[in-house]
Amino acid sequence: MLTGDQYRDSLRDGRKTYFDGRLITDMPNEPVIKDAVDNVAATYDRFYDPAPGTTNPMMTIPGDVDELRDRTLSMMDADIVMATTWQSLMTLLTASAKVAETGKDYVERIKVYVDDARRSDIRITECITDAKGDRGLAPGKQPDPDVYTHVVDRTRDGVVIRGAKLHITGASFGHDLMVMPTKNMKPGEEEFAIACAVPVNAPGVKIVNTTYAPRHPDSRHFPHTHGHHMPDGFVIFDDVFVPYERVFLDGETAYAAVFAHSLGLWERLGGLTAMADQADMLVGFAQLISEANGLSREAHIKEKISEMIIHATLVRAALDAAIANSEVTPEGSAFPNELYTNAGKYHGAAQYNLMVRHLHDIAGGAVLTTPTIADLENPDVGDLIRKYMKTTQDTDGEYRARLFHAIRDLTADSYGGWHAVTNIQSGGGLYAQRIVTRKHYDLDRAKQIALDAAGMGTGHRHM
């Protein structure tokens, strides 16, 4: 297992990662970037155990409902790269059963890879979304074939891939990039049916980072995000060699979507869990600020908070039902119920903006106009601000100011914007999420219920 500092060292491996137009050469000491490194390092330190042969308990496979619930919920306390690492391993295991049908030795390669990953305590991020080029054309018909990641060359020992993967949260902060096809492929598109694990520092890999991290000189104005952000990566594979032992699919077009579907389930479970916590957090802020404003007993405020509570409870119920109805595979891994996972994820994403609207409506304009901590420290105006931010006798003006800062930071500033978009987009946009939910719903049963209610039961249908 690695300590946080060993992790920091591991990032000095020659990787080509860019930020604000520059190549970053020392990630652990680069401003802004450094915060994210520290987050990942903290999880390493938290689980570090010097005893030989131990592995991170966060990287074990849940064998029943209780373990699945425990793993899922505890992932919320870890950094996001830890979570994607776990999701990557679970994805490989979920996909493994189906890929076995190809008759190739992918299953063995996956097993070796997963064992290695756990033993060497690395971090992995998942690379799905391709650049896609012209959405109206199949991968094999694009003017520029590189818009879908594909094999451009092949040696006795491995393949050479080219392409780009977008929106890869934490890509620069892990050790491996888990590359998988973005969607189903058809005969003739064999070169696009490629899944493999690529080291971040492999020659040809280039990552451009973007982040919602605050650039304000005073980090105190961003009480949550100043230390809790994680850049997204625009990952470019500029002719990258991958040895066969790290290739998990290579040309079997019929299996191209297996990885994406497997990942989808785990990604949406993670998203749903995060949303359940997030919803409770938004309820909490609404209640706290209504109390600090001295308005928590107003009928219309209570109504809005009650609506928020109902939303938070529904998202939580979907998560609970998804886990309570999980299935255990013959191999002994527990998987959440797909129908409940997807419906809950969709609902949470679609309603997030209403939750935020309610919070802003309850909180008031001071979400935006509360002076900074530096203003509070200014001798001319500090005490006056405190005086005028005070409401009821037992509410301190600075306490209230800090609550407003937190609400702005989390919901009405860069991070809030990031959240609004990712809630919708993670899992593929609301449209894709609707389709997936529909796929897992038992439409035939619903039709039978309807026919029975109509007195048109057995035998009455389409002549």
Q: Closest distance between a second copy and the C-beta of residue 430, in Å?
A: 5
Among 95, 437, 84, which Cα is nearest to 257's?
A: 95
Applying CB under 8 A, among 15, 305, 333, 334 the residue interacting with a second copy is 305
Select 35 or 291, whichever has its Cβ closest to a second copy.
291
Distance separating alpha carbons of residues 430 and 345, to the nearest angstrom: 10
Size of the site for a second copy (CB under 8 A): 154
The DSSP code for 200 is: T
**Binding track, positions 410-429, relative to a second copy; x by CB under 8 A:** xxxxx-xxx-xxx-xx---x
The DSSP code for 295 is: -
Applying CB under 8 A, among 81, 89, 122, 406 the residue interacting with a second copy is 406
- 446 C-beta neighbours (distance < 10 Å), count: 10
Q: Closest distance between a second copy and the C-beta of residue 201, in Å?
A: 15
Q: Closest distance between a second copy and the C-beta of residue 139, in Å?
A: 14
Which region among 55-63, 176-184, 256-264, 357-365 touches a second copy (by CB under 8 A)?
A: 357-365
Applying CB under 8 A, does 22 fall inside the site for a second copy?
yes
Distance separating alpha carbons of residues 12 and 114, to the nearest angstrom: 24
Which region among 41-49, 178-186, 202-210, 261-269 touches a second copy (by CB under 8 A)?
A: 202-210
218 alpha carbon, distance to own chain's centre: 28
Distance separating alpha carbons of residues 189 and 138, to the nearest angstrom: 9
Among 327, 186, 328, which Cα is nearest to 257's?
A: 186
- List binders of a second copy among 114-173 (CB under 8 A): 129, 131-136, 143-144, 146-147, 164, 166-167
Strand partners, 130: 165
Q: Closest distance between a second copy and the C-beta of residue 202, in Å?
A: 16
Q: Closest distance between a second copy and the C-beta of residue 79, in Å?
A: 15
Which region among 109-117, 177-185, 249-257, 306-314 touches a second copy (by CB under 8 A)?
A: 306-314
Applying CB under 8 A, among 310, 327, 331, 332 the residue interacting with a second copy is 310
Distance separating alpha carbons of residues 292 and 281, to the nearest angstrom: 16
Distance separating alpha carbons of residues 440 and 309, to the nearest angstrom: 27
Applying CB under 8 A, does 280 fall inside the site for a second copy?
yes
Applying CB under 8 A, does 394 fall inside the site for a second copy?
yes
Residues whose CB falls within 8 Å of the CB of residue 417, separated by 6 or more in sequence, listed in order: 212
Residues whose CB falls within 8 Å of the CB of residue 10, separated by 6 or more in sequence, listed in order: 2, 175
Are 146 and 56 a contacting pair, CB within 8 Å?
no
- List binders of a second copy among 361-380 (CB under 8 A): 361, 364-375, 377-378, 380
Applying CB under 8 A, does 42 fall inside the site for a second copy?
no
